[in-house]
Chains A and B, each alone.
Chain A
Amino acid sequence: MSPDQPGTEALRPLQPAVRTVWRIKAGLFWTLVFAGTAVAEVVWLLGGSGPVPFGWPMAFVFLFGTTWTILQPHLRYRFWRFDLRSEELYLERGIITRVRTIVPLRRIQHLDVSQDVLEREFDLGELIVHTAGARSSEVVLPGLDYEEAQKLRDTLNRYILEDAV
């Protein structure tokens, strides 16, 4: 097959459940930031005067964090597309900066499937593609069904070996 690109409609989205995982992670992160801000503000308040009026940083963090937690996973999911083609793995992603990546299968060094505690709850996994490229030593494809991530890994694995001989 020649390296031709089918239209966008042929690309596959991630598992929708990954939005929830991202949302929980973002929520946890912003809760931590909010807690930190709250502590700092209380310390300032007890110490007399802070650099800004009491409550403002907390309000800002709360609003920004909430917006981020609601919007970012949704947008991130919306712009993620991938496709396994006969000779390459094609990825599209990015909210602000859109990135398209073509990983020729023959360039794959090895593959990892990883799953963290949250992803385990949703039966999701990540496929991590390692190449020799300086900036592409780890190309991550998140939000896959765990079974499918493993299947994908095994398919690609078989491909590398066949190709290499």
Chain B
Amino acid sequence: MPSETSTSDVSDARDVSLEEMRRLHPYTLVQRFLISAPALLIILLPTLRNPDAGTWLSVGTLLLYGIFIVPLFVAQYLRFRYAVTPDEIVIHKGVFTYQHRNIPIERIQNIEIEQSLIPRLFGTASIKIETAGSRSTEGVIEYVGLDEAHRLRATVRARQQARSGADDARSGDGIDDQPNIRPDNSTVRPANDGPASPTAAYDVPASAAARDSDARTTPGPIHGASRTGAATSARHDLDDAGDTGQMIHEMNVGHVLLSGVFRFSLFYIVAIFSAVEYLGVYPEDVARWLTGDRFEAVAAAFESATWLVILATVFMVTFLAWITGIATNLNRFYGFRLMLDGDKLHTRSGLFTVSEGTIPLKKVQALLLRTNPLMSAFGWYRLELQTMGFDPNDRGYRVAVPFARWPEVMEIARTIRPVEDPGELESVSRLMIRRTLVRYLAVLVLLAGGIGYFWEPALWGFIALPAVVLLAIQQYRHHGYRITDDYLYVRRGVFRESYWIIPVDRFQVFYLTQSLFQRRLGLKSAYVDTPGAGVLMHPVIEDLASDDASRILRILHRRFHDHFHGPPEHPTDSGPVS
């Protein structure tokens, strides 16, 4: 069987035979039956309520359960095995699809031990293994004895500890976000990876064991007793971090209000009107109750002219969106402060709920400057940091500067990473206009034509044609890129303009794509993946001439390569990508 041979050709150090691998706790089966019981009850509920009708149904369900589900649990239990070797955690599982997962120990960020209600009754726990930069948990070992869970965690920590001595060079790796607390907390230093200090990145086994025993006596769910694994002494320094560190950026009330002027929030309006509708309170009634019959004439006038109603509605919605935009913005960013404390950024803001955040500089994957046409007309930008780390709160985009002008944003950005203003960006192929236009037209024809087939007025949608042409041209004008020695700059978007600054050392995977239509036009798109990048808006360089795209990807790849290896020995030795 494949599973038996899977590890046989691994080098001696990591060789694990199936006998050495451990099974889950035997109570696994009991627990899984218990957990599946409620679902079974729901299925059987009709019969239980009314025992006369359809007893055969419940018998049938029970039979199905006995024939399929129970053997499946047993088979899953029998197939699941795991082991901790000096280098990795090995998990073998799967009934129909065998899966062998090897998680290198040094990539493990955190091992979380969780105990929910039923496992607590049985004295078992589930182990969640998180690795650097993964979007979700990398490995779950469910239903092991609590002691075994703590033993496993201590083992992994001890092995990581043993390795970390020889680990200096590693932190140059993009998403290595092991906490690396430096003694000089107050010093401002660029986030660019210098040689890492050999600070112990993980607890010494003794302290880990001590903490684990603490955790064991704690009643209630044990939830990652040591989330960051930072050295305990450094931890204390950071506890009151909200007020320490060097102030980088601060917003006063006027500035927050001003920034709200540029934000429209439709969300709350929709929410309010939904609630009003749900409660059965109608705006007409409210208005009548407030004003009596004095505005009957106005109402009648509005009722007679459709365009007046549309105009008034648009005006009202815009006005309300504007007001709620200012209000929500004020609530969110009131008293905004950004502070630099050693290698961490602290943010604090909020009117009713004060939210604080910590962004370790090491977790910053890319810088993103955002704006919209209204904001950019006045030269305003918002700086967000694309982060990626173990903690779910550390993922995605975090606002570092809510509202500032370009030079100020760049200056603040420089305290985070030594970025330079690239000046004018390079354009992609002009054929992008044609491709974008065709895509927009297709959508327009489908929408207006499709709806117009059933409801004729929708055909008026075709008057949007010139706007679509204009939009395609604007998309092209707003799209640009530049590559410097240390960064890739990409700008995209008209209504939501995004300007990414991606450090070379954060590059992950390189893509070159060519769709059918692009093939006809001789275009290609280049994309460099980074941890935590958005799915909808991402820094792809679209519609480059094929040769340019290949060249650009090669340059990016070479920059990445040189960052970790130094310049190549034969700089001229280059072949085509395509």
Chain A residues with CB under 8 Å of chain B are 1-7, 87, 94, 96-104, 106-107, 109-117, 120, 125, 130-137, 139, 146, 150-151, 153-154, 157-158, 160-161, 164-165
Q: A4-B573, A110-B131, A132-B133 are in contact. Are A158 and B538 (CB under 8 A)?
A: no
Closest A residue, CB atoms, query B94: A114
Q: Which residues of B contact A6 (CB under 8 A)?
A: 575
**Docked-complex contact A109 and B107, CB < 8 angstroms:** yes
| 22 residue pairs A–B, Cβ–Cβ below 8 Å | A3-B560, A4-B575, A98-B519, A99-B511, A100-B578, A104-B510, A106-B564, A109-B133, A109-B138, A110-B102, A112-B101, A112-B102, A125-B2, A132-B132, A132-B174, A134-B531, A135-B509, A154-B10, A157-B10, A157-B14, A164-B170, A165-B166
> Chain A: which residue is nearest B107 at the CB level?
A109
Binding site for A on B (CB under 8 A): 2, 5-6, 9-11, 14, 87-88, 94, 96-104, 106-107, 131-135, 138, 163, 166-167, 169-170, 173-175, 388, 507-516, 519, 527, 529-535, 538, 553-554, 557-558, 560-561, 564, 568-571, 573-578
Which of chain A's residues has its CB closest to B176's CB? Answer: A164
Complexed CA–CA distance, A92 and B516 (Å): 15
Question: Using Cβ atoms and an 8 Å threshold, which residues of chain B touch A158?
Answer: 11
Q: Is the CB of A139 within 8 A of B509?
A: yes
Tell me, rounded to whole Å, the shortest Cβ–Cβ distance linking A105 to chain B: 11
Q: Which residue of A lies closest to B87 (CB)?
A: A161
From B10, which residue of chain A is reached at the shortest CB distance?
Answer: A154
A101: chain B residues within 8 A (beta carbon): 509-511
Other A-B pairs beyond A2-B558, A7-B575, A110-B104, 7, CB < 8 Å: A101-B510, A104-B510, A107-B509, A115-B2, A135-B529, A157-B102, A161-B104
Taking A100-B577, A102-B557, A110-B102 as contacts, is the C-beta distance between A132 and B508 under 8 angstroms? yes
Across chains A and B, the number of contacting residue pairs, with CB separation under 8 Å, is 171
**Nearest CB in chain A to that of B510: its residue:** A102
Bound together, the chains give a CA A104 to CA B563 distance in angstroms of 13
With a CB–CB cut-off of 8 A, which chain B residues contact A109? 107, 131-134, 138
Determine if A132 and B175 form an interchain contact, defined as CB atoms under 8 angstroms apart: yes
A137 touches which of B9, B99, B134, B568 (Cβ 8 Å): B134
Given the known inter-chain contacts A98-B513, A102-B557, A135-B529, please indicate yes or no for A165 contacting B163, CB distance below 8 A.
yes
Q: How far is the CA of A104 from the CA of B505 in the complex (A)?
A: 12
Query: Across the interface, do A115 and B98 meet the contact criterion of CB distance under 8 Å?
Result: yes
Contact A134 B87 (CB under 8 A): no
Determine whether the beta carbon of A131 is less than 8 Å from that of B558. no
> What's the Cα separation between A136 and B528 when bound, in Å?
10
> Which residue from A5, A98, A130 sits with its C-beta under 8 Å from B577?
A5
Q: B104, B513, B514, B527: which contacts A157 (Cβ < 8 A)?
A: B104
User: Is the Cβ of B529 less than 8 Å from the Cβ of A110?
Assistant: no
Closest residue of chain B to A94, judged by CB? B513
* Bound Cα distance from A117 to B578, whole angstroms: 36
Assuming the contacts A97-B514, A164-B173, asked whether A134 and B574 have C-beta atoms less than 8 A apart, the reply is no
Residue of A nearest to B138 (CB): A110
**B100: which A residues are within 8 A, CB to CB?**
112-114
Residues of chain A lying within 8 A (CB to CB) of residue B388? 132
Q: Verify B175–A4 contact, CB threshold 8 A.
A: no
CA distance A157 to B100 in the complex (A): 13
Q: Nearest chain-B residue to A136 (Cβ)?
A: B509
Residues on A with beta carbons closer than 8 Å to the beta carbon of B570: 2
Are B101 and A110 in touch, CB under 8 angstroms?
A: yes
Is A87 within 8 A of B132, CB to CB? no
Bound Cα distance A72, B72 (Å): 34
In the complex, what residues of A have CB within 8 A of residue B173's CB?
A: 106, 164
